[in-house]
Amino acid sequence: MRIAIIGAKGQVGWELTQRAPLLGHETLAWDVAELDITDAAAVDRELGASGADVVINAAAYTAVDRAEQEPELAFAVNRDGPAHLAAACNRLNIPLLHISTDYVYDGGKSSPYVEDDPIAPLGVYGRSKAEGDEAVRRLSPRHLILRVSWVFGIHGHNFVKTILRLAREREELRVVADQSGCPTYAGDIADTLLNLAGRIAEIDASGAWGAYHYCGEPATTWHGFAGAIVEMARTREPLPTRIVTAIATADYPTPAARPVNSVLDSSRLAFRFGIRPRSWRDGLHALLAALYAG
- State the Cα–Cα distance between residues 82 and 84, nearest whole angstrom: 5
- State the Cα–Cα distance between residues 122 and 129, nearest whole angstrom: 11
Single out the residue of 287, 78, 72 nearest to residue 185, CA to CA. 287
Distances (CA, A) of 232 to 47, 179, 235, 286: 43, 22, 6, 11
- List, in sequence order, every residue forming a beta bridge with 166; answer none if it has no partner: none
- State the Cα–Cα distance between residues 55 and 3, nearest whole angstrom: 6
Instruction: Provide the CA 258 distance to its chain's centre, in angstroms.
Output: 16
Q: 125 an active-site residue?
A: yes
- Reduced to 3 states, what is the DSSP secondary structure of residue 235? coil
Catalytic position from the list 61, 103, 105, 125: 125
- State the Cα–Cα distance between residues 177 and 246, nearest whole angstrom: 5
- Reduced to 3 states, what is the DSSP secondary structure of residue 267? helix
- Reduced to 3 states, what is the DSSP secondary structure of residue 243? strand
Cβ atoms < 10 Å from Cβ of 202 = 12
Residues with catalytic function: 125
